[in-house]
Amino acid sequence: MRVTFVTGAYRPDRCGVADYTAHLRSHLSKKGIASTVLTTHAAAQAANDPSVQGAVERWTLASLLPLTRKILTIETDILHIQHAAGSFEFQRPIFLLPALLRRLGYRQPIVTTAHEYGWWEWQPRWLPGPALEFLKQWGQQRGWWDREDGFLLTGSEAIITTNDNIARIMGERLPERRDRIYPIPIAANIEVAPVDTQTAREHLRQTYHWPQTAPVVAFFGFLHPVKGLETLLPAFQQVIQVHDQARLLLIGGVETLALQGQDAQNYWDKLQQQIADLGLKDHVACTGYSPAEEASRYLSGADIGVLPFNPGVTLKSGSLLALLAHRLPTLITQSEETDPILTTGEVVERVPPRHPDSLAAALTRLLQDADARTCLSQSGYAFVQRFGWDAIAQQHGEIYRSLE
C-alpha cells in the first residue's frame, strides 16, 4: 500500500504535526505501508529526502493548482491530509482541495487528520455576520461543507481526530458523518533513551553545575507564549523560597513554524530577561532545541514534570505523554478542554491556568511529598502504556484498508 501525505510544512524539528507525521510514517513503513510527503518547496529542500517532495511555495489560493497537478501525477492508494492551522500558515485554501480534486476526476480515497478543531472559523469582514452564519449552517446541515474546515471533512472518506473532544464536536456538526470519524490518540513525541536513571541524574546536574542533591523540575516542549512560561517562572520564584536547592529546566527550542526569525529571538530574549528580573539565573536553565535522545536523557534525570499551558493541557500534547513515559510525576493546567480521564484519575496533578500562586503551591507540595511523587509516577507510567506508535500505525492501516 502507498499513502501520499499532504502537510503544511514538513519540518519535524519545528512543527508538532510534522513530527507526528514523521513518527507515523516510520511505523507505517514497518507494516509495509510506503509513503510520500507533499509539502512546501522550502521544507522539502530542508528534508533532503526523495520521499519528501515540494509542491507549493506558500499555502495561498494560487497554490491549489500546482498542488492538484502534483497529486494527480503520483501513483498512490490513499491521499492523507494532515491539517493544523499553523502548519498551513493559517491559510484556508487547503479546505477546497478535496472538492477541487473530485472535480478534476480524482478517485482515490481521501483521509483527513484534524489535529485542531472547534476554534478557528472563517470570519471575513466583508461579509455581514448574519449572512455568513446562514451560509455556514445552510451548507453544513446539508453535509456539503463544514462551518470551520470547508470541504476538508465533508470531502474525506475518513476523518481522524487526535482526541475524543474534537470527535464529539465534529459529530454534533456533521451527524451524517459520525461513522467516518475515528479518534486516535497521539503518542509521546520522543522515545525513552536507554540510560540508567542515576547516571542521567548525575549528568544533568553536572551539565548545569547544580548540586547533585538538587531536585529538578522539567518543562518539555517548544517555548511559546501559550505554554504558560510567564506563569511558571514567577511560580518557581515562590518555590525556591521554600526549596532553595530546587532547579527548573526548560527543555526545548523557540524557533517553530508559528514563531520564526526575529519573533522567535525576541521571545527568547524576553524569557531570559524575565529569568534575570526574577533573580532566577542560578535556579533556571534553558537547553534550547535538543535532539530527541538528549531531551530524553534530561527527562530521565529530572524529578518532576510541569506543563503550565495557558489553554490547559489535553491528550493532544505529545509532551505530556513524554513526561509520563519518563515516569515523571507531572503537574498540568486544567481547563474545560482537558480530557476527563486526566481530570478524574490520579494520572497527573492539576492546577488552573495563569495562576502562579496555585502552581507554586502544587509544586511545593510535590517537592515535599515523596509518596505523592511515587504514586503519580507509577499511575502516569501505567496510563501512558496504552498510547504507542505501533498501535497508532495499526489503526491507520485498518482505516486505509477499509477504504480500498
Per-residue pLDDT at 10: 93
Per-residue pLDDT at 52: 96
Q: Residue 127's domain spans which residues?
A: 2-187+388-403
Distance between CA 302 and CA 377 in Å, rounded? 12
- Pair 154, 215 in one domain: no
Q: Give the domain CATH number at 338.
A: 3.40.50.2000
- Pair 85, 231 in one domain: no
Rounded (5°) CA angle 309-313-316: 120
- Pair 62, 29 in one domain: yes
- Pair 181, 205 in one domain: no
Which residue carries 519518563 as its cell?
A: 326
| CA distances in angstroms from 106 to 101, 102, 401, listed in the order given | 5, 5, 18
Domain count, the chain: 2
pTM: 0.79
Q: What is the pLDDT of residues 256-314, one digit of tens each?
A: 777 788 888 999 999 999 999 999 999 999 999 899 899 999 999 999 999 999 999 98
- Pair 122, 212 in one domain: no
Per-residue pLDDT at 340: 80
Q: H or E segment at 162?
A: none
CB 251 within 8 A of CB 290: yes
Question: Model confidence at 46, in pLDDT bands (50, 70, 90)?
Answer: very high
Per-residue pLDDT at 346: 86
Please state, rounded to an integer, the average pLDDT across all residues of the chain: 93
Distance between CA 377 and CA 18 in Å, rounded? 29
